[in-house]
Structure 1
Amino acid sequence: MRTEYWPAFGIADILAVDNGLDLTSGGTREACVALAIDLLFTPPRTPWYKGVIERFGRTVNTRFIHWLPGTTLGKATSDLGYNGADEAVLTFSVFKELLEQYITTIHNKTPSRKRVLSPERLFVKGCQSWPVRIPTSMSEFDAAVALSKNAVLQQSGLTFLRLQYQSDALGALWNRSPNGTRLQFKVNPLNLRTIQVRHPATGEYFAVDCVDDFQWPRTLSMHLAVRAHAKTMGLSPDERRSLARAENDLMKKYADAAKNSARALRRMQAELLRQSQGDMAVEGIADQVFMEPESDSYPDAFDAVYEDENV
C-alpha cells in the first residue's frame, strides 16, 4: 500500500473543544498556554459550536468505521443477528494504519457536496492566506506538550511510575540541595526514555535518561498497560523483574492478535486501494479528487444516526 502525502501541520491559533475530562485537564491547558493557543470551551450539549469536526466524525463513522469487522454500527445490533464482538479481529495498530489510509487516499481528496475543493486543497489554500505557525524546534514543542510532574530528589535520582532517572547533572544538583527537595520535570507520554528536569535556580530544563533496562521507546500508555497486566498475573507492578515478565507476556498476546488480524488488514487495504483508484475519480482534476455521492447508498444496517461524541 503506497504512502500518501498528508498536508497537516502547524500550531493552531484557536482550539475549540467540549468539556471532556481529557480536555479540561491541567495538561491540556498548560500545553495551550505554552504554545499560545486560545482554548475555547463550548457549552455542554451544543455540538453545532464545532460542526466541522462533528460532521467529520459522522463521515468517518458511516464511510469507514461501520464497514470494519467488529463495528457496533453505533447502535444496538441484536435485532440484526449480528454481534460485533464476535467479528472484532483488528488490533489498534492495524486500525490506525487503515484509518490513515482512508483519510489520505479518500477523505482528503473528496470535495463535499457544497464545496468544489477537497479538504486537502482547502488546507493548502488556507495556508496561503493565513500562514501556519511552526515550532522553532521539536525539542521546544515536545517540552510544551509534555506532562508536568514533580518528585522528591534522592541520591538515586528521580522516580516516576517506578522508572528510575539519573544523570551526572542530577547527581550534582542532589549534592547542593537540601533533603526533601522536590523538582519539577516534563514527561513526554510518547517516549518515557528521557525526562526534562527544571533546574530550581535557573529555571532551565535539562535532559535526564532512564537507567532501567526496558524496551525503548516506551510510551506512557504502554507502561501503564504493563503495570496493570502484572497485577492480573499476580505480580508486583513495583518490581522490575515482575514488570519484565508481564511485558513479555503482553507482547506475546499482541503478536498473536496481530496474526489473527493480518487477513482482515489485507482485505481492508485492498478495499481502500480500490476506492482510491476506482470509478469515482473525476476526470480533469489532478491528484485523484473524489466526489461524494448525492445520497448515501449504504445498506439500512449501516445507516447510523449521529449522536454527539459517539464514535
Structure 2
Amino acid sequence: MSPLPPNASPATTTVSLRPFNTYPERTQEQAFRRKAYIDAWLSQEAPVFTVNFLEPLIAKVATNIGDSSPPSAATFYRWVSKYRSSGKDMTSLLPAYDKRGPHSRRLDEVTQAITQKVINEYYLTKQRLSIRAVQSRLRTAINRANADRSTENYLKIPSYDTLRRIIKEIDKYDADLARYGREYVNKKYRHSGFAELVTYLLERVEADHTPLNIFIRDDESLQVLGKPHITWMIDVMSRMIIGFYISFSPPNIRSVFECLKHAITPKDYIKEHYPDIEHDWPCYGIPHTLVVDNAFEFHAQDLTRATQELSITYQFCAPRRPWQKPFVERSFRTLAEQFASELPGHSFASYLERYGYDPEKECTVTFSELIHALHIWIIDIYAHTVHRGLNSTPYAVWKQYQDISQLRPMDATRLRLTLSQENTRVLGHSGIEIHGLRYNAPELLLLRKQYGDRLKVRVRYNTENLGLIYVLHPVTLEPIMVPCLQARYASDLSLFQHKKIQAHLRKEGGATSDPDALAQAREHMYATVGVLVRATKLKQRKKVARLKGLNSANLLGDLDTALGSTQPWSGEEWVAPINTERTPALIKVIKRADQLTKGGKK
C-alpha cells in the first residue's frame, strides 16, 4: 500500500446534521474506539500508511484500550480517510449499523398485495378495527387464495408482528384521515404559528357564543330557570372584554346585535347601576375587524349589511377551526374557571364530573345577581389581573393605547338603526304590516301623496321591541319613526312573545289581528308564565325566561332609551332593579375584587 501524506485531502465525505450525542450509546462507543486508534496514529512523528508501521501501532492501542477485535491496516486507512474528508467530524466514525441486514420485505409480491388490500378494506375505515381483528381477516383472505394453489405454492400467512410493522409504516396523517375523518385530522394536526400582529385597539376583535355553566334562578319566583347563553367580544390588542350579552334564547342574530351594541356604546351606566364597582369600563368604539366562526347567525344578511354600514371588516374562520380565533376561545375557559366555577350552581363542563352534586339544588344566584357579579368580575378582577401574554393588565394596555388608537364612536340613533333587522314592505292606506301588526304615522301619508300609493319601502325594527319601526325615506333614506297602532299591546313586546301569543290565539280560534284579543292574550301569557315557572321540567322553566324577555340588555335598561331616543308610545320607562342583598357567592366575588383593588393577595 502506498503511503498517504497525513495532510492529504481526499474527496469530501457527506456529514450528517444529526447531533452526535443523539445516537445510541453503543454506536457512540464504537466511534470513540475508532478515534483512539486515529489519535495514536496522528501522535506519531512521521505517520505513514504502511502495513509494517500500522500493525505494531494497532496492536499497542488494542492492548491499552482492551480491544479484542482490532482493525486491519486497510480498515484503519478507511477510518482515517473518512475522518479527514469530513473535516474531522466525529459522526464520520459512527458504524453504519442501520445499513446491515435485508432492506426489503421477505413477503412475496402476492402476499404483499393481499395484505395491502386487507389493510385498505378493514383497517383504513371508519369502523376502526384493531390490528388483531385485521390479522383475522388477513388469515381468511390468505386461506382463500391458497385454496386454488398447490401445497408447495402455499402463501405464508404474515404474523401479527409483521402486519403490525406494515401498518405502522403508514403515514399517521393518512391513517387518521381514513379512520377518523377530515375534521379529526384538521384538529389533531393543526399548526399554530404566530398570532396576527395588531398595533392599535379594536384593530381585531373576536366574537363567539358559549353556554354559561351555571344554573340561574328567577328574581321574582326564585325558581331555577336553567343555564343561559353568553355572547361576548374581546379586543386582541389589550385582551379587554369590550361587550357581552346574556339571554336564555339560543344564539341568534339578535344576540350578536345586542353584544355589538354593548361593545360600541360607552359604559356610562356602571356608576349608576352598580355604584359598588371600584373601576371604570373604558371600552367603546367600532371594531376595525370582527372575527367570527361559521355559525348560522353570523352569516345573516342583516349582520352583513350592518357591518358594511359600520365599516367593519367581517372575517370568518374556516369551518370547525376554533383555534383561528384563539383569544375569545381562551377567554371562555377563563370565564368558566375563574367566574362560573366559583358561584353556587356551577354545572361543571361534564355531567360525569358532578359526582352527586346537584347544581339545580345548590344554585342561589338570580339573573340580576349574575349580571351584577359578571360586571364585577370583568371590571374589577379580570381587567386588573396581570395577563401572561401581555406582561401587564388588560386595563393598563387599553389605557396606554387609548389616546393613539383613534377609537370610533357612533351616533346613538344611527347605531340603533344599523343594528336592526331590515325588510321590504308595501306602504298602503292602512300603513305597514309586519308580523301581523300595523304601523302608521302622518309622515307616511305624505310619502304616499308624493310617491304614490302601494309604495315599496325599506323597514327596520328591533325584534326585542315591536312598539315602533323605522321606515327609510325612498329617496333620502332618512329614518322615519313609526309607532305601532296597537301601542298598548306591542310596547316592549318581543317577536318571540308575539309569536307565542299568535299561536295561542290560533289554537283558541281567535283572530290574530284583533287588538282586544291580542291584549287579552298578552295578559294570558303573563298568567301562563306564573304557571310555567313552577313546572317540574327545566325545559318549561327555561321557556319562562324567554317569555319574560329575560336578558342582560333589558336588565340594564331599555336599549333604545339608553341610546337617547324618545318613546312616547312605550309607556312608563322601566328601571333595572339593583339587588342590594347579595348572595354569599356574590360577596365572595366582590371581596376578590376588593383584594385586587387594594393590592392584596390574589
TM-score, reference length from structure 2: 0.42
- 1:20 deviates by 0.9
Tell me: higher relative CO, structure 1 or 2? Use CA pairs within 8 A at least 6 residues apart. Answer: 1
Equivalent residues in 2 for 1:220-259, closer than 5 Å: 220=494, 223-225=495-497, 227-228=499-500, 231=503, 238=512, 239-249=517-527, 252=530
For residues 599 and 498 of structure 2, the distance between their equivalents in structure 1, rounded to whole angstroms, comes to 44
Given that 2:427 and 2:455 are in contact with CA atoms closer than 8 Å, whether structure 1 keeps it comes out as yes
Task: Determine the structure 1 residue equivalent to 2:482.
Answer: 208
- 1:175 deviates by 4.4
Given that 1:106 and 1:276 are in contact with CA atoms closer than 8 Å, whether structure 2 keeps it comes out as yes
Amino acid at match of 1:245: E
Task: Determine the structure 1 residue equivalent to 2:55.
Answer: none
Q: Select which of 295, 317, 324 maps to 1:42.
A: 317
Task: Determine the structure 1 residue equivalent to 2:220.
Answer: none
What is the SS of the residue equivalent to 1:29? helix
Task: Determine the structure 1 residue equivalent to 2:402.
Answer: 127
What is the SS of the residue equivalent to 2:315? strand
Amino acid at match of 1:140: R
Task: Determine the structure 2 residue equivalent to 1:307.
Answer: none
Given that 1:111 and 1:290 are in contact with CA atoms closer than 8 Å, whether structure 2 keeps it comes out as no
What is the SS of the residue equivalent to 1:208? strand
Q: Select which of 177, 192, 198 maps to 2:472.
A: 198
Please, which runs of 5 or more residues in structure 1 have no aligned partner?
282-286, 293-311
Structure 1 residues 216 and 96, CA gap change in structure 2 (3 angstroms): farther
Equivalent residues in 2 for 1:79-118, closer than 5 Å: 80-87=355-362, 90-118=365-393
Amino acid at match of 1:274: K
Q: Deviations over 1:133-153 (max 9, x none)?
A: 112x21111112211122222
Matched, 1:268 2:555: no
Matched, 1:29 2:277: no
Given that 2:460 and 2:471 are in contact with CA atoms closer than 8 Å, whether structure 1 keeps it comes out as yes
Given that 2:343 and 2:586 are in contact with CA atoms closer than 8 Å, whether structure 1 keeps it comes out as no
For residues 219 and 291 of structure 1, the distance between their equivalents in structure 2, rounded to whole angstroms, comes to 47
Amino acid at match of 2:526: N
Q: Select which of 403, 407, 417 maps to 1:143.
A: 417
Structure 1 residues 266 and 200, CA gap change in structure 2 (3 angstroms): same
Matched, 1:187 2:461: yes
For residues 50 and 226 of structure 1, the distance between their equivalents in structure 2, rounded to whole angstroms, comes to 36
Is the deviation greater in 262-271 or in 55-64? 262-271
Given that 1:146 and 1:186 are in contact with CA atoms closer than 8 Å, whether structure 2 keeps it comes out as yes
Please, which runs of 5 or more residues in structure 2 have no aligned partner?
1-273, 534-543, 551-578
Task: Determine the structure 1 residue equivalent to 2:328.
Answer: 53
Q: CA RMSD in A?
A: 3.3
Given that 1:227 and 1:243 are in contact with CA atoms closer than 8 Å, whether structure 2 keeps it comes out as no
Q: Deviations over 1:170-208 (max 9, x none)?
A: 123234555543321111345433322012233332111
Amino acid at match of 1:240: L
Task: Determine the structure 2 residue equivalent to 1:299.
Answer: none
- 1:98 deviates by 2.2
Structure 1 residues 36 and 79, CA gap change in structure 2 (3 angstroms): closer
Larger Rg: 2
Equivalent residues in 2 for 1:8-23, closer than 5 Å: 8-23=283-298
Given that 1:10 and 1:132 are in contact with CA atoms closer than 8 Å, whether structure 2 keeps it comes out as yes
- 1:40 deviates by 0.5
- 1:250 deviates by 5.8
Amino acid at match of 2:524: A
For residues 16 and 240 of structure 1, the distance between their equivalents in structure 2, rounded to whole angstroms, comes to 41
Structure 1 residues 226 and 267, CA gap change in structure 2 (3 angstroms): farther
For residues 502 and 581 of structure 2, the distance between their equivalents in structure 1, rounded to whole angstroms, comes to 30
Given that 2:291 and 2:317 are in contact with CA atoms closer than 8 Å, whether structure 1 keeps it comes out as yes
- 1:132 deviates by 0.6
TM-score, reference length from structure 1: 0.76
Given that 2:501 and 2:522 are in contact with CA atoms closer than 8 Å, whether structure 1 keeps it comes out as no
Instruction: Give the number of equivalent residue pairs.
Output: 279
Q: Deviations over 1:63-104 (max 9, x none)?
A: 112233333212123761123344455454442232122211
For residues 344 and 499 of structure 2, the distance between their equivalents in structure 1, rounded to whole angstroms, comes to 30
For residues 290 and 33 of structure 1, the distance between their equivalents in structure 2, rounded to whole angstroms, comes to 46
Q: Percent identity?
A: 21
Is the deviation greater in 177-186 or in 149-158? 177-186
For residues 149 and 50 of structure 1, the distance between their equivalents in structure 2, rounded to whole angstroms, comes to 32
Is the deviation greater in 192-201 or in 89-98? 89-98
Amino acid at match of 1:38: T
Given that 1:186 and 1:196 are in contact with CA atoms closer than 8 Å, whether structure 2 keeps it comes out as yes
Q: Deviations over 1:91-141 (max 9, x none)?
A: 544422321222112111111234332111211222233211112x21111
